[in-house]
Structure 1
């Protein structure tokens, strides 16, 4: 079987940043140009669909500002080959099905964000989306290298070794591949209990994809989100070591899906109706979230399932007691389900959740981008939509971002300044022959 290039950030997301999806025209009569554009697009719809394949990128390792083909960016060859299975590409095939489902949901979210101030998702769509974004983060560059290079702290390395023996696996990367396969094959609400998934990753799924709630932040007209190699699923929160084990507690998880939208997962204390962030901060030595003042409106649920409350309390139900070693999250889930049943409600696939598109200010957009910039590795590949906004982002990062360790993007800043000066010179050249009485401007629009 021939080698295949597998993306850890999928093509359909990267196409939202593609520069050949848009055209930049210098125009005076906008309505006239729009009519021309409509006639042009009418005849070349198929050609337009084939575009959206070029990204504007900065390669930090090469110190190179330029463009890159989507088909050759953010991926590795043969990431999902399972040589222990007759069908070596079976994981990739299953993943492509989930990606197809999630892509429809994300495209729907993007479409609604351009026309509405909210979007309604079914529970099943939401569960598939959560599973998808977890796997997108789990299969990223850093996590994949961790398993292929057996790059763990001593205690986790022992845990991986024990798990390999239990599951009859020979190499750490087989653990990574089995985890993905099992997550794909297991219903969302059962992933946390699947013992074929490595415990550390199973617990991470439980906390991030089940306990955390989802919000959708939207950048303003003059703001943009960026994408980095390890930025899909990066988190802001608390990290350190406890009893010799590394730990991280998430305050916010970020999944940029377009220059204008980012999906954000937050633990329940950030819900307005819960309002227990102070207790959370106290637990971690007073370390506060840098996004504590940003809006956190939870989705509004509409449950369609009704149950007979007189039949509740079956003796066959598992016993949950916080004092007998029950995991605290499992206890919370049980209490929540019990509260639903007490009110005659049960979860159904077609329960509806209404999410607001939450407009955030420029300062918050810059903070999200700063988190992405601050966690980059030496081999960073950064994708952006416009040179001018990336320049502004780098300036703000160097000036305002408060962190003990900052990355140096001085070279990128210089290259962006050179590019912006060149664009300005082109602009002046075009304006030379324009009569003083006329007004022309640059207009950027989607071609299809």
Structure 2
């Protein structure tokens, strides 16, 4: 059960919307399992909608047996044309792809695919990921069991043309779309969310709202010859695909006009009237009428990422329980975001928890075919009696301002996906270096400490130094991190006069601790790789739970004598070698090699006291000489 605002607002009509706050079930307007409020941070309360690859929401088999002539097909949850935006290697033409497929029976387009459960990073064919076999196959239609997939292909083609136009308009910062294109894009976004929910969408036994639609569902099944709720899901999918955008909105409006908005949503508290026609139009109307489209471009030095569960995530929460955004990443450069029309009202009611609300966004500017910027309603006319379709034209224009995000804003949007990807989920991205920086920024945020283990293996994969690069030195080719360069050069030239190896390593570690602001130079890559490997092995040995032990919190000693420093480093090295079975492969004959190893040891101990302090009891007394209790002042 969640609090939501139900709005009656017709897109671009300019009419006043009536508003009603009710406590309603999450089933139709917000499907089961979408609310997650583990912590109080904005990304923690982000609602998860599209968890197709998670076993909970995998669709059930159709109730009928497929015809013998049916050939299994792999149906995607994330469309191929979006996955191709993340393609590695040279792009192939459609003819080249078809020729390759006929020869190998394998999709020739490949993307990077990080499987969180196994910790593997692979280059995978897009024909094998982010989908299921026969997902949209309708066994009730033996003459064409893949009819729905074919209809989806048409919708995806229309949407791909619109999204391609958005990419073309990035340099200008403005995108002008016809009303028909906006409607195609909106329908595409809704259907992507709906189809990813799978057969759980109309499950009458679902603990969150299933009972409220049970009678309606039984009547619907009888009327449309559906045997299971999965058949209903497919039948409703056909309704969304076959019915024009404006007609679906008309169906929703007719329900409100006939029954009254208050009565419709009061029924959702108990039992939906089984005789209600086109009930499924209400969910579509909410997304189409409650929000406006935002087009966001990633920062030039970063990119957007994809996750198996991230196509249509809710983000943000108001005091009324209404969500603020829904996020759709459509390429490494572009994310289409739906922002609630009622955000200003939410902010007046109380604090709105959202990491994305700080991003300013202008509303689209309309220009109707008659040249006006809006509808003119004669005086004395009852707004409720107006047929808005008579005012709308497919050729009406809407000009969108493309918002170019800062690096921090791009990180915030990516953090929504990283926070909500499941432990058995997956990620796809384009640039390895940019993904490494994104993961480093995410993991540096203390509020994300519980999610860091999901990406430990990915950090190691991305920080592997290419075989053609020798052990990192200050003069290695590649990007130069000036601040780090100066600090290491002073050590190499003996200009650093700190009293001990501990103090020397700690001074450089303080520079490197926020890895998100360090450039991806070879020295940093080697540090990240070795530190993440030791951390993962420590989790494997002592458990991955993050908790504190009595006597904390702790902090590193700011200074140690050379004698104590030497003993601490020897004890840490021995703990990693004997306790974890790992050896840090640094050339300690070279001063920078010794410094690099010392920094990893300091960083490892810092991680232990910050996130895994239960490991301290397994370390020697000597090691604990480098740790002190942090004094917390009450105030």
TM-score (norm: length of structure 1): 0.73
Taking structure 1 as reference, are residues 88 and 300 closer, same or farther at Cα in structure 2, changes over 3 Å only? same
Deviations 1:13-47 (A, max 9, x none): 1100011147xxxxxxxxxxxxxxxxxx9xx9975
Q: Which sections of structure 2, spanning at least 5 residues, go unmatched?
A: 1-69, 101-106, 256-275, 478-635
Taking structure 1 as reference, are residues 176 and 207 closer, same or farther at Cα in structure 2, changes over 3 Å only? same
Aligned partner of 2:415 among 349, 370, 378 = 370
Distance in structure 2 (CA, Å) of the matches to 1:393 and 1:379: 20
Partner of 1:163: 217
Secondary structure at 1:238 match in 2: coil
Mapped contact 2:119–2:457 kept (Cα < 8 A): no
Taking structure 1 as reference, are residues 97 and 312 closer, same or farther at Cα in structure 2, changes over 3 Å only? farther
Mapped contact 2:439–2:459 kept (Cα < 8 A): no
Partner of 1:4: 73
Distance in structure 2 (CA, Å) of the matches to 1:206 and 1:384: 32
Taking structure 1 as reference, are residues 258 and 154 closer, same or farther at Cα in structure 2, changes over 3 Å only? closer
Matched, 1:426 2:471: no
Task: Tell me the CA shift for residue 54 of structure 1.
Answer: 0.8
Matched, 1:20 2:86: no
More deviation, 88-97/227-236: 88-97
Distance in structure 2 (CA, Å) of the matches to 1:67 and 1:427: 22
Mapped contact 2:292–2:340 kept (Cα < 8 A): yes
Partner of 1:34: none
Partner of 2:358: 293
1:170-185 alignment, distance < 5 Å: 170-185=227-242
Taking structure 1 as reference, are residues 426 and 93 closer, same or farther at Cα in structure 2, changes over 3 Å only? same
1:45-64 alignment, distance < 5 Å: 53-64=109-120
Mapped contact 2:318–2:324 kept (Cα < 8 A): no
Deviations 1:203-238 (A, max 9, x none): 332122222100111111101111000101111023
Matched, 1:380 2:428: no
Partner of 2:456: 413
Task: Tell me the CA shift for residue 147 of structure 1.
Answer: 4.2
Mapped contact 2:179–2:393 kept (Cα < 8 A): yes
Taking structure 1 as reference, are residues 147 and 278 closer, same or farther at Cα in structure 2, changes over 3 Å only? closer
Mapped contact 1:218–1:357 kept (Cα < 8 A): yes
Partner of 1:202: 281
Matched, 1:263 2:336: yes
Taking structure 1 as reference, are residues 313 and 166 closer, same or farther at Cα in structure 2, changes over 3 Å only? farther
Task: Tell me the CA shift for residue 166 of structure 1.
Answer: 3.2
Distance in structure 2 (CA, Å) of the matches to 1:261 and 1:368: 11
Matched, 1:396 2:453: no
1:135-150 alignment, distance < 5 Å: 135-140=191-196, 143-144=197-198, 146-147=200-201
Deviations 1:95-154 (A, max 9, x none): 2111111111111211222x42211100001101100111111111xx115249766225
Mapped contact 2:114–2:458 kept (Cα < 8 A): no
Between Structure 1 and Structure 2, whose CA radius of gyration is higher?
Answer: 2
Secondary structure at 2:161 match in 1: helix
Partner of 2:392: 347
Partner of 2:244: 187
Taking structure 1 as reference, are residues 197 and 57 closer, same or farther at Cα in structure 2, changes over 3 Å only? farther
Distance in structure 2 (CA, Å) of the matches to 1:21 and 1:255: 25
Mapped contact 1:252–1:264 kept (Cα < 8 A): yes
Deviations 1:72-93 (A, max 9, x none): 1111111112222343222222
Secondary structure at 2:451 match in 1: coil
Secondary structure at 2:169 match in 1: helix
Taking structure 1 as reference, are residues 19 and 184 closer, same or farther at Cα in structure 2, changes over 3 Å only? same
Q: Which sections of structure 1, spanning at least 5 residues, go unmatched?
A: 23-40, 243-247, 320-333, 435-448
Aligned partner of 1:119 among 157, 169, 175 = 175
Distance in structure 1 (CA, Å) of the matches to 2:365 and 2:457: 46
Deviations 1:148-180 (A, max 9, x none): 976622532441453232342321111211221
Secondary structure at 2:220 match in 1: helix
Matched, 1:128 2:188: no
Task: Tell me the CA shift for residue 261 of structure 1.
Answer: 0.8
Higher relative contact order, chain-length normalized (CA < 8 Å, sep 6+):
1
Secondary structure at 2:209 match in 1: helix
Partner of 1:232: 311
1:209-288 alignment, distance < 5 Å: 209-238=288-317, 249-270=322-343, 275-279=344-348, 281-282=349-350, 286-288=351-353
Of Structure 1 and Structure 2, the greater strand share is in 1
Secondary structure at 1:175 match in 2: helix
Secondary structure at 1:110 match in 2: helix
Mapped contact 2:318–2:346 kept (Cα < 8 A): no
Partner of 1:441: none
Task: Tell me the CA shift for residue 411 of structure 1.
Answer: 5.8
Secondary structure at 1:139 match in 2: helix
TM-score (norm: length of structure 2): 0.52
Mapped contact 1:217–1:264 kept (Cα < 8 A): yes
Mapped contact 1:56–1:68 kept (Cα < 8 A): yes
